[in-house]
Amino acid sequence: MSANDPSAQSPETPKPKRKSFRMADEAAADCLFERLRLHQQRAPDSTEVARAITAKINARLTSPDKHVRQSTLDKLWNKQSGAIQMLLAILETCRDSATCSYITSILREVLCLKQGKGKKCSVPIESSGNKKKDNKKTGKENKVPAVKKANNLARQQCSQHFISINGTQVVIRTMIATHAKRDGNVATELILQDLVWILASLAPRGTVPNLRD
């Protein structure tokens, strides 16, 4: 049998339809954020709709699929989408604990920097006591993937935008209101934890919000 005989060649394995999946996921994400925009325009007082949309966005950010998480983050970081402003508007007026919990979780994921493995979020402040120890570490634990660097840069830029649209004031007002009605609810505690992390990530930017604005 000749080596050039087509029957002698191993059949080509079909390529996974990853591209079509990504296109479908992009369309689903666009539809989700469009629903968020329409909700703000037509029915901003609908608690159930707000809860459903924010729950789906938060689910995408916690998805095991990296592409789903990344595409969702990219849309949230995009200033043109207006997603951050819409989420802040809902957070400031909503009294539903579940919806507020989803929003603060989303904002924490969008704003807080990521460190190495096992460290969810971080605050970009270095302590002098641990600096020498950190410099001695070598190997893979000190290497930050290029994607993570790009994402952290996007988070820093988003933080600046967040501050420019008075997001810090909204976060502080929400924290004060949530703490005032602290009732031992798990959602309430999660909201406060996320708000603390968000403020800690914004503090190094040197902002001093004026609560009277």
Q: Give the Cα separation of 193 and 70 in Å (integer).
A: 24
pLDDT of residue 42: 80
Average pLDDT for 170-181: 91
Average pLDDT for 84-111: 93
Q: Give the Cα separation of 198 and 167 in Å (integer).
A: 10
Examine the pLDDT at 44 and tell me if it is beyond 80: no
3-class DSSP string for 140-195: HHHCCCHHHHHHHHHHHHHHHHHHHCCHHHHHHHHHHHHHHCCCCCHHHHHHHHHH
Average pLDDT for 115-143: 50
Examine the pLDDT at 14 and tell me if it is beyond 60: no
**43-52, 61-70, 124-133 — most confident range:** 61-70
pLDDT band at 26 (very low <50, low <70, confident <90, very high): confident
pLDDT band at 70 (very low <50, low <70, confident <90, very high): very high
Examine the pLDDT at 79 and tell me if it is beyond 80: yes
- The predicted model scores a pTM of 0.75
Q: Is the dihedral of CA 173, 179, 185, 187 positive or negative?
A: positive
- Which has more pLDDT, 90 or 136? 90
Phi, psi of 122 (to 5 degrees): -145, 160
**C-alpha dist (Å) from residue 35 to 100, 103, 178:** 18, 15, 27
In tens, the pLDDT along 50-66 reads: 999 999 999 999 999 99
- Where are the domains positioned within the chain? 23-115+146-205
- Which has more pLDDT, 175 or 11? 175
Are 211 and 169 in contact by the 8 Å Cβ rule? The answer is: yes
Q: Give the Cα separation of 146 and 37 in Å (integer).
A: 32
Examine the pLDDT at 122 and tell me if it is beyond 90: no
Average pLDDT for 110-128: 58
Asked which of 74-88, 133-147, 151-165 is least confident by mean pLDDT, the reply is 133-147
Are 81 and 129 in contact by the 8 Å Cβ rule? The answer is: no
